[in-house]
Structure 1
């Protein structure tokens, strides 16, 4: 892994969080770990991760709820859902919430690295393909100086 992928890990189990961070950092990732999922939204904007890894069962906010928030605020961000509760219901719920990957704990280091690398590369390619947004800076302009778009103009009599 040549790239320094940015990974946000939202995990309330300190042992799993430590393992995930250690595996990814040894492969060159920049990792931020949050144990309280209610702080994840604020971190998304400041850290701007390439990939988010979240547990499902956490106090205060489930991984599914967090996934919904990420999809609403940062729709292109890949999300990996991890759980120790292996069941069809969890997997189906994760896929319905548009999770990019579903992993069961314990996760092998090879699987973790493979999934994060693939998703981060796909995410970066997709972002690079989007043309930059144009911005117009107007210093000293008055709101009446800006012409309304044709669709909002009212006919003159």
Structure 2
């Protein structure tokens, strides 16, 4: 049975790969600032689809990967919180991915969740992409923390 989750990133990166100091420092700083300005534990989110194994097909838009992408990866509980979603979300995410694959990361839109700037029409940030896959109105207004809070509400 396919299980679908909103995967919310809460963990810091470990020190492996610290030899590439600049990308590591940039990613850690971005994580910290997102958590600080959105007042919550999460700095990133994904739509994660599990077929029962330890790996998940993860759909999102990622700073580290340059925009909209599909990536298979583990989601260890020390770094990720998984919020159950309706099973039909998997089909919505796959469809949206086909429509947006390769689109760039929307820095302006990500900042807009705090500064109330308008998002790009051709680029995506993580929580905007996930909210659109969930068919939420005003997808561009969600930060990772706001989206997690919304998905935990009983009326979803």
TM over 0.5, shorter chain: no
TM-score by length of 1: 0.31
TM-score by length of 2: 0.31
Q: Which has the higher contact order (CA 8 A, sep 6+)?
A: 2
More strand per residue:
2
More helix per residue:
1
